[in-house]
Structure 1
Amino acid sequence: MNTAIIVAAGSGKRFGSDTPKQFHPILGKPVVIHTLQRFEDCDLVKRIILVLDKNETDSFSKTTKQFGIRKIDSIVSGGESRAESVRKGFEAIKEDFRGVVAVHDGARPLVSTQEISETIQTAQESGAACLVANVTDTIKEVSGGVITKTVDRTNLRRALTPQCFRYEL
């Protein structure tokens, strides 16, 4: 049974709004609902652990039901950092769990169910996998405030989510 941990506990400070970006509406739904629907529609994901800011955990359960999100196993309070929020998501997994855990950012709704499935399948086979994208920006190496080198992008990739792991790892 594969589990998705959707991390949506951020405060949205960099977004420049009083409302965190994961709760901003797009086409009448909060961004995180669009994200949850991708995982809801993925046959390889059997349950979802949603990590939210402690002030959102009680009220958001009703919202997930309103939009037909049925795979939510638990909603847990996030931590002070993304890493701590992910850890709290892992703590919500039952001890006897066997399968792949897919960690994904709640504010990233543009992932497809096919990308989720392929990343989970690769993690099942090899132990771990994550989506990546080519680096298209020019990357510079700097020393003492002076550009010393343009980095070859041929072998560079940007890590995206979901990031998937066999739980026993």
Structure 2
Amino acid sequence: MKNLKYLLIMIIAVLGLNSCSYIWNQFTDAIYDLVHEGEERKKIDKDDEFAYINPNYKKEIRNVLYEINKREITKKAVAFENAMYPETGRSFEILIPIGTELKGFHLIDEQTGYGLPIRILLMTATNDKECYAEEAIKTGDKWKIAISVHYDAPMVAEDIARKIGRKNGFEICK
């Protein structure tokens, strides 16, 4: 009986020390996360479509967006969206603001090189012709062209996206 008592005490002690180790590891992981918070966002390049998330570029991109909002939308660009449907080889011509260019499927300011939180996408058309996350859509028989803005972008980006949509004859989403 005495040996069983010591055996139980040993098992409980091992379990207790093991849980202390777990708690210590959780504590050190939490401290590491606090120290390195935001490093992933700081790795985003300035010409990336998510550059607005990077705190180093946020203010400059906002100023660039206000500047672009004043520009005319008369520059012709050819947009390719082969990342989702490479077999189509589909391309289309679209009018974008002067001083911007398309890189992949998002806009970049030519003067500063900042990536803007505005995307132009080509998707398969569904029977559902309603807008969800898009600012403007144009639906054909097989394809839907959408202009969308990232979820945390300023309102001026939405205004620019809607202006691009209006200029190109897209349906403007509310």
Asked if Structure 1 and Structure 2 have the same fold, meaning a TM-score greater than 0.5 normalized by the shorter chain, the answer is: no
Name the structure where strand makes up a greater proportion of residues.
1
Structure index of larger Rg: 2
Name the structure where helix makes up a greater proportion of residues.
2
Q: Name the TM-score, length of structure 2 as normaliser.
A: 0.22
Q: Name the TM-score, length of structure 1 as normaliser.
A: 0.22
Larger RCO, structure (CA 8 Å, separation 6 or more):
1
